[in-house]
Structure 1
Amino acid sequence: MGKQYNLWAFYLILVCLGLATYSLYSNMNNTWLIAPPNYILLLISMIALTLGVLGFKDKRNWRVKTRSWITVIISSLTSIGLFLVVSFTLFLTSMGADEHIQTDSSPGDKYTIDFYHYDAGAAGSFGVRGEINGPLWFKKRIYLQPNIQQVDVEWENNDTLSINNQILKLDEGDTYGYQ
């Protein structure tokens, strides 16, 4: 039974690390975010840690013991990192850093965009951010404009819209405010 715990924990933490890395990449490059929310990744890493500790029962050879140690170390570090990210996100959210302004859908309901007012407080600026909703928890940031409080959205057709006089062609992957 310990063998199964050890192997499951190892693969689970590798998947969790891959998803966490992609989540960081997609947030930095404004691509589609397909990784689950950070609190789900934290739960996965804690399960991997628990299974990794239970995997220490398997003492067949040095490879199995090494895999257990590697799993426990990586899952511990991943859990700590994700806990800090989730805590930081909750702290900022409780301070009103992101406030939902409105949700707009295209005429044919092909796209749904959520707009948020962000405010970094004394540490930074404020403005409006827009995100396209995809299936499940998938989303993509398409609009960022600092130093404004409101957003004016007008759909020209099912794939083209004007946000505060900035034309975006969603079928071509246009974004505004992101490099």
Structure 2
Amino acid sequence: MKKIRIIIYAAVAGCLIIAFTIWQLFFNPRHLPSGDYISQSTSPNGKYTVKIYQSNGGATTDFAIRGEVTYNNKTFNKTKNIYWNYPQEKASVKWINQDTVNISGHVLNVKKDTFDFRSENE
């Protein structure tokens, strides 16, 4: 009975490691292509800056847009990917208030929200 439990634990651990590796390689927003800089927009209070990049996957794929927010702080500037959409060639950015931005029709709170076309059910 003890051998069976060890085998089950090893199988579950193996599945978790494989799932985590797949997520890291294909779905983690930190590993998105950098792309070519297009534009940027700073929040009304100056606390955040959203930069837009266009990613070109080559001759066989369309363009994609990546949005990155920079948390403007005097001691450090932290950046985070908050927007990833494919296919999309251009993007518009409008601030709704101090913490909320509209990127091409997707309203995001820059503190907590992200948009990734790969996980949307539209």
Whether 1:105 aligns to 2:104 is no
Q: Is the 8 A contact 2:62 2:88 kept in 1?
A: no
> SS where residue 154 of structure 1 aligns?
strand
Larger radius of gyration: 1
Give the partner amino acid of 1:157: N
Structure 2 unaligned residues grouped into runs of 5+:
1-23
Kindly indicate whether residue 103 of structure 2 is the aligned counterpart of residue 163 of structure 1.
yes
Give the paired residue count: 91
CA shift, 1:112, in A, is 0.7
Question: Superposition pairs for residues 42-61 of structure 1, below 5 Å?
Answer: none
Which residue identity does 1:142 align to in structure 2? I
TM-score after normalising by structure 2: 0.61
Q: How far 1:145 sits from its partner (Å)?
A: 1.3
Report the TM-score, using the length of structure 1 for normalisation. 0.43
Structure (1 or 2) with the greater strand fraction? 2
* Percent identity for Structure 1 against Structure 2: 29
Deviation at 1:29, TM superposition (A): 2.6
In the TM superposition, structure 1's runs of 4+ consecutive aligned residues that sit over 3 Å from their partners are: none
**Could you say which residue in structure 2 is the equivalent of 1:18?**
none
Tell me by how many angstroms 1:175 deviates. Answer: 0.7
Q: Per-residue deviation at 1:127?
A: 1.5
Q: Name the structure with the higher helix share.
A: 1
